[in-house]
A and B are shown apart, each in its own frame.
Chain A
Amino acid sequence: MESKENIKFETVIRPKNKWFDLRLGEVIKYRDLVYVFVKRNFSTLYKQTILGPAWIVITEIITTVIYTIIFGNIANIGTNGVPTFLFYLSGNTVWGFFSKCFINTSTTFTSNAAIFGKVYFPRLVMPISVALTQLITFAIQFTLFLCFLVFYVFKGSVSPNYALMPLFFLLVIIMTVMSLGFGIIISSLTTKYRDLTVMISFGITVWMYITPIVYPISIVPDRWRLIFMLNPMSSIVEAFRYLFLGVGELKAGYLIYSSAIAVFAFLFGTILFNRIEKTFMDTV
């Protein structure tokens, strides 16, 4: 105890993290763990299945067919002249990525309590690896979408805006950041309030119906339009369709609004996450 003050330590564990000390460098140090988790998420999903990863494509096609029958043929919702199948496939692809990424990150703390309770690693590794897993799934489903798109383009029934296509990457980034942000906000709050897990499961369905997935925004009456566009996902889905199907709305203002929401949710989420992660084991 004599020389108590003159030793410097590399790591100091304090009761609470500082608000903005996100320690992202540490996450980078654990990048191998991110990789391993992503690999695990994939390889465990389709172990002992015959079709394996083909299921990613099959489920996508089946849901789209169902949407086409119900919303396109029975309910007869217009698609602005785009082939119905392609219209619903595009909505499905975008929403599937966003919702899965959101739902899977929102259970970060509760579903990983067993691992978190035993070893330390930057907790942010979990939601990041979930997002990467979903990105890869999205890449596969997007390729599927592209195949059908090429088919319909040759048939001459759609005319994409080729010049704007690089914007696609921006859309993906906004969606990833936004779903991660909302996901980790929910995951931080569910450590205390389990009510949210119940809310999320039907909340995501409600969210889907207020997002132009199974209908184009153009059928929404003008007086409701602004309220619909307050939903940050609306402009993204519409922009996606504008790029690839040539119909829909692309307005810079709406996209900036969505990006702002995404960045805000992500920052707020990581800060909240950072506060919660230290002691969540005591409350989970």
Chain B
Amino acid sequence: MSDVIIRIDDVYKQYRLGSIGGRTLQEDFQNITAKLLRRKDSDTDSAAVKSGERFYALSGVSLDIYRGDTLGIIGQNGAGKSTLLKLLSRVTAPTKGTISYNGRISSMLEVGTGFHPELTGRENVYLNGAILGMNKAEIDRKFDEIVDFAELSQFIDTPIKRYSSGMYVKLAFSVSAHLDADILIMDEVLAVGDVRFQQKCLQKMGAVASNEGRTVLYVSHNMATIRQLCNRCAVLEKGLLKYDGDVASGIEAYLSNQDTDQKVFNDLSDAVRPDFKYGGRSVLKSLELIGKENNYFVNDEKVSFLLEIENREDTDELHLQFSVKSMDEITVATFLSPDVFSVKKDTITRLKVTLDISEIVSGSYKMEIVVAKANHICNFVHYDKISAALCFTKELPTDTSYTLAWKTQKFGYIQNKKITIEKV
């Protein structure tokens, strides 16, 4: 594992805030004359310094990337992900620090770079390929493969201004995916294209990364693709590397940081809720865990809480629904209220709810609660819905062989214990 292919060494990237491009000759002349006259307020090169309008998109990031790594880079908007990729693809240079690498880097910061609408698909493949660093012989060799992958052989001699946006992206991705670079940089490339083509792209990228021993750096907000594609994960936060390691814990570190803190008492009256047509007839008021001082649930411990619902209308068939979701919005399990119940106008209903989450594996989760009226033909009329009414962490003892090897990406979030195996 000591085959370092990229070394990012203490890299800083500074941007100047305010009107950067708007500097005119006049301002610079003023600066130069001020410098020559040695006015004491002008020892630094612009007025921006004085007001401190400088911003570090990256402030000291160091990272070693090994050959064959598929590194997912995640972080909130403005965390410095794209800046890092821009530095790696040499679009701009770091303010401080060095980046060293072996081999050729090809970046797909946005697919279809340099595509010219007037040119045909064929001409654009050559143009785009050359821009991305392939030479003509390489493109000649891969041309058929590229067109086949894009499923566009019929349209290859049509100007791409007549292409649909899907066709355009397919062709663009296809060129990038056939690059022979040692290091591939990808940023949100899967945002377009139909689902089937997206899956095809992911498979191709996975194949590129694993079979051909290439290194892939991938930035996305889509945790599912990060899970599917990457074997390593780096979390950036405000220009700093916050986490570097395996994918599942990286994603958790990133996501758990995003949501509200885990609280025992959750005041739900001001929570964000969708605008339902009949919304507000019965609304969730608060949720308080019973007999707990934190939100950690160990082993078979049940989630037990007191729920307050404020009723503004009479309702006969009130129904509740509790969905446990992973931090990347995958629904793990849903609990339905076994019966409907009646409530009276201008009262507060207090309910004690107990959920058995013993089969849910370790991790951070949030709970979505839906309040609805269930009528006799099983139509639900939504009254209220809160997507993260409660956040909690489930912990299983780590000394069992099960939990050590458990990969949610492969096995899911439920470890079903209703199994018996007997020798017969």
Taking A193-B24, A279-B93, A281-B92 as contacts, is the C-beta distance between A12 and B126 under 8 angstroms? no
> Which stretch of B95-103, B291-299, B363-371, B396-404 is in the interface?
B95-103
How many Å lie between the Cα of A95 and that of B75 in the bound state?
A: 54
Binary interface encoding of chain A residues 8-24 relative to chain B, with 1 for a CB under 8 A from any of its CBs, else 0 = 01111111100000000
Q: Which chain B residues numbered 46 to 102 have a C-beta less than 8 Å away from chain A?
A: 64, 86-102
Q: Does A100 count as interface, using CB distance less than 8 angstroms?
A: no
Taking A11-B102, A283-B21 as contacts, is the C-beta distance between A32 and B109 under 8 angstroms? no
Q: Are A9 and B101 closer than 8 Å at their CB atoms?
A: yes
Q: Are B116 and A40 closer than 8 Å at their CB atoms?
A: yes
How many Å lie between the Cα of A121 and that of B89 in the bound state?
A: 10
Residues of B within 8 A of A44 (CB): 116, 118-119
Residues of A within 8 A of B110 (CB): 118
How many Å lie between the Cα of A264 and that of B7 in the bound state?
A: 38
Q: Are B91 and A120 closer than 8 Å at their CB atoms?
A: yes
How many Å lie between the Cα of A192 and that of B118 in the bound state?
A: 31
> Which stretch of B132-140, B208-216, B411-419 is in the interface?
B132-140
B131 CB contact (under 8 Å) in A12, A39, A115, A284: A115
Q: Does B38 count as interface, using CB distance less than 8 angstroms?
A: no
Q: Are A11 and B119 closer than 8 Å at their CB atoms?
A: no
Q: Does B290 count as interface, using CB distance less than 8 angstroms?
A: no
Residues of A within 8 A of B88 (CB): 13
> Which residue on A lies nearest to B131, using beta carbons?
A119
Residues of A within 8 A of B134 (CB): 32
Taking A9-B7, A15-B96, A193-B28 as contacts, is the C-beta distance between A116 and B131 under 8 angstroms? no
Q: Does B141 count as interface, using CB distance less than 8 angstroms?
A: no
A194 CB contact (under 8 Å) in B24, B100, B159: B24
Measured as residues with beta carbon below 8 angstroms from the partner, the interface class of chain B is 35 or more
Q: Are A40 and B131 closer than 8 Å at their CB atoms?
A: no
Candidate in B21, B64, B102, B116 with the most chain A CB atoms within 10 angstroms: B21
Taking A12-B100, A43-B123, A279-B93 as contacts, is the C-beta distance between A121 and B133 under 8 angstroms? yes
B15 CB contact (under 8 Å) in A11, A16, A117, A282: A282
Q: Does A195 count as interface, using CB distance less than 8 angstroms?
A: yes
How many Å lie between the Cα of A194 and that of B113 in the bound state?
A: 25
Q: Does B220 count as interface, using CB distance less than 8 angstroms?
A: no
A119 CB contact (under 8 Å) in B7, B16, B87, B109: B109
Q: Which chain A residues numbered 29 to 73 have a C-beta less than 8 Å away from chain B?
A: 30, 32-33, 35-37, 39-40, 43-44, 47-48
Question: What is the CB-to-nearest-CB distance from B92 to chain A, in angstroms, rounded to a whole number?
Answer: 5
Residues of A within 8 A of B93 (CB): 13-16, 278-279
How many Å lie between the Cα of A156 and that of B86 in the bound state?
A: 64
B123 CB contact (under 8 Å) in A12, A40, A114, A121: A40
Binary interface encoding of chain B residues 16-56 relative to chain A, with 1 for a CB under 8 A from any of its CBs, else 0 = 10001101110010000000000000000000000000000
Q: Does B166 count as interface, using CB distance less than 8 angstroms?
A: no
Candidate in A11, A118, A282 with the most chain B CB atoms within 10 angstroms: A118
Residues of A within 8 A of B135 (CB): 32
Taking A14-B98, A120-B89 as contacts, is the C-beta distance between A283 and B20 under 8 angstroms? yes
Q: Are A121 and B131 closer than 8 Å at their CB atoms?
A: yes
Residues of A within 8 A of B64 (CB): 1
> Which residue on A lies nearest to B182, using beta carbons?
A10
Q: Does B257 count as interface, using CB distance less than 8 angstroms?
A: no
Question: What is the CB-to-nearest-CB distance from B53 to chain A, in angstroms, rounded to a whole number?
Answer: 14
Q: Does B4 count as interface, using CB distance less than 8 angstroms?
A: yes
Residues of A within 8 A of B205 (CB): none
Q: Are B130 and A47 closer than 8 Å at their CB atoms?
A: no
> Which residue on A lies nearest to B86, using beta carbons?
A281
How many Å lie between the Cα of A279 and that of B96 in the bound state?
A: 12
How many Å lie between the Cα of A22 and that of B4 in the bound state?
A: 28
Cβ contacts A to B, 19 pairs, < 8 Å: A12-B99, A13-B93, A15-B93, A15-B94, A30-B133, A40-B119, A47-B159, A115-B114, A117-B91, A119-B107, A119-B131, A192-B21, A192-B28, A193-B23, A193-B28, A194-B21, A195-B25, A281-B91, A283-B21
Given contacts A14-B93, A14-B94, A119-B106, 5 further A-B contacts (CB under 8 A): A15-B96, A43-B118, A118-B110, A121-B131, A284-B21
